[in-house]
Structure 1
Amino acid sequence: MSVRGLCLGLAIAGATAGIPVATPARAQSMLDMVDLMSPAFTQAEMSRADIEKAIAGLPEGEKLDLFGKALNKLDLSGMDLRRVNLQAARLMGSDLSGANLEGVNLDSAWALNSNWTRVNLKGASLFGTQLIGAKLDGADMSGARVAGDFSKASMTGANLDGADLSADEKNQSMGLMRGTFRSANLEGASLKGANLRRALIEYTSLRNADLTGASLAGSELGGSDFTEANVAGADFAEADLNSAHIGAMRNADKALNIDKAKNVDRAFRN
């Protein structure tokens, strides 16, 4: 679906549900514009059994469309959801631990404080997705498009190899959409070859993370901790390192363009 089509669909969904729904233009600034205590964000209009039955009855090659559905606080752990469209779905506080969502569309979904531990999100699309405070420890997000808000999320040991967390350069008139990881925990995460260009990664722990070959060009890394992170081949051109802890990075001599980073003189090297 085109961005214009997505915006139209979400606007219609919001009008139908009687609530504002995040469009990509505002998806990362909507928390003060929605009532997170309303039924739309606290209740579910389907049960796990309903979803299992619907998936079982799908004709071959078709998908279950749960666009905009309220699925809050459901236990969907361990489910195979690869044939489900969860675009704009509301999964607040839901448990998707160990579930298989490879290649699933989660654009503009709301899933604050949800559990995605050890979930399979290979190649999934998370554009404008709200995962603030979520648990994604051990999640496999390799090759995924990640331009959502993961602030305060726990992502220890997560796999983001080859993932695209970069800013969306095509729709600047709609607002800057990018991977946002304020105060997130990415300790021990793997981001080999990941695209983090212009991503927002402030006050985040990247201790022992593997950033081999990752692009951090133009990213905002202020206050983040790179202790024991492997930065061999990682590109820091124009990245903002203000107050970042970079003194104990592994293979720092093999990193690219640290001398071209912003505020490198204000980074902590001890």
Structure 2
Amino acid sequence: MLFRLAFAFVAMAALLVAPIDAVAQDMLRDVDLNSPDMTTSEMTRADVDTLLEAARQQPANRRTADLEGKRLSRLDLSGLDFSGGNLRLVKLNRASLKDARLDGAILNQAWLIDADLTGASLVRASLLGTQMQRARLGGADLSGARITADLSGASLIGAKLAGADLSADMRNQSMGMMRGVLNSADLRNADLSGANLSRADLEFAKLQNANLANCNLSRANLVGADLSDANLAGADFTEADLASALLPSAAALAESRNLDKARNLNLARRPN
């Protein structure tokens, strides 16, 4: 009996000290990404366009298009205007949203795995718990957006994220740490000036020539990230993890803030 009680206590203690982000944003658990629910559409492009047009004809206070929970995977929706729309829980896996307008749209918990948003506008959009692994967002505008999405492996070459908020939501931890996840994402030449990346996960991210001026990188995970030739003027590195990160020139680093307070700075790689 004493042994069983001791074992139970140890097991409970292990659960209490387990990192909360180990289960964070794990919406993929037990989800069959090859199921019809995740790969097919219940509407055509014409159907979607008709719905959007009907919303535009409504009075200003009722002009929001409601597509919540719709299955729209693999559709070509390029160029359509979803601005201000409700796309919560919508499934857009492998859909084309090239040059689409999603300014102010609600995309919380939506599915956009392998979606093409090249050149799309998502200014001040809400992307909370959104699944966007391997999405293509080259040249997209996410300025001022609130993003706790999983963008692992996504392409954001030349994207605009000025003033975007990818920081961890410390008020809502019931599902683990919700934050912007950009593991192995391609952010070359992206504009992240003034963005809030506090506690964001940028492990192995490509940030060459990125504009990180006045960016909040406090407690961000930058392990293995490539920051070569990045603009770091005013960027805050307080407690950021720089293990194996490739740093830019000494001159660029000199313009950053609190680099001496970063973690594992001694393990970072310096330019030749």
Fold shared by both chains (TM-score > 0.5): yes
Cα deviation code 1:75-121 (max 9, x no counterpart): 01011111421011000000001001000000000010000001000
The residue number in structure 2 matching 1:109 is 110
**TM-score computed with the length of structure 2 as normaliser:** 0.88
Cα pair distance change 1:243/1:26, threshold 3 Å: closer
Question: Which residue of structure 2 lines up, in the alignment, with residue 156 of structure 1?
Answer: 157
Say if 2:46 is the partner of 1:60.
no
Structure 1 residue 136 corresponds to structure 2 residue 137: yes
Provide structure 1 residue ranges, at least 5 long, that are not aligned to the other structure: 1-24
Question: Distance in 2 between the 1:168 and 1:174 partners?
Answer: 11
CA distance in 1, matches of 2:197, 2:49: 36
Structure 1 residues 218 and 75, CA gap change in structure 2 (3 angstroms): same
Q: Distance in 1 between matches of 2:198 and 2:143?
A: 16
* Structure label with greater radius of gyration: 2
More displaced stretch, 54-63 vs 135-144: 54-63
Aligned positions of 1:61-76 closer than 5 A: 61=60, 62=62, 63-76=64-77
- Aligned residues of 2:230 and 2:248 also touching (Cα < 8 A): no
The CA distance in 2 between the partners of 1:172 and 1:204, in whole Å, is 25
Whether the 8 Å CA contact 1:55–1:83 is kept in 2: the answer is: no
- How far does residue 65 in structure 1 lie from its aligned partner after superposition? 1.2
Q: How many residues align?
A: 246
Amino acid at match of 1:137: G
Q: How does 1:117-196 map to 2 (within 5 A)?
A: 117-196=118-197
**Residue equivalent to 2:220:** 219
Deviation at 1:134, TM superposition (A): 0.5
CA contact (8 A) 2:155 2:186 kept: yes
Query: Are the aligned partners of 2:199 and 2:219 in contact in 1 as well (CA < 8 Å)?
Result: yes
Helix, strand or coil for the counterpart of 1:127?
Answer: strand
CA contact under 8 A between 1:226 and 1:248: conserved in structure 2? Answer: no
In structure 2, runs of 5+ residues without a counterpart are 1-21
* Correspondence list, 1:89-104, <5 A: 89-104=90-105
Q: Is the 8 A contact 2:52 2:81 kept in 1?
A: no
Contact 2:84 2:106 in 1 (8 A): no
User: Percent identity, aligned pairs only?
Assistant: 47
Aligned mates of 1:60, 1:238 — CA distance in 2: 49
Q: Would you say the 8 A contact 2:25–2:177 is kept in 1? A: no
1:117-159 Cα distance to aligned partner (Å, 9 max, x none): 0100000000000000000000000000011000000000000
Q: How far off is 1:31 after superposition?
A: 1.9
Structure 2 distance, partners of 1:183, 1:254, is 25
**C-alpha distance 31-84 of structure 1, shift in aligned 2 (>3 A):** same
State TM-score, norm by structure 1: 0.88
Q: Which residue of 2 aligns with 1:88?
A: 89
1:40 aligns with 2:41: no
1:64 CA drift (Å): 1.9
Q: CA deviation at 1:26?
A: 6.4
Contact 1:194 1:215 in 2 (8 A): yes
SS in 1 for 2:174: helix
1:54 partner amino acid: L
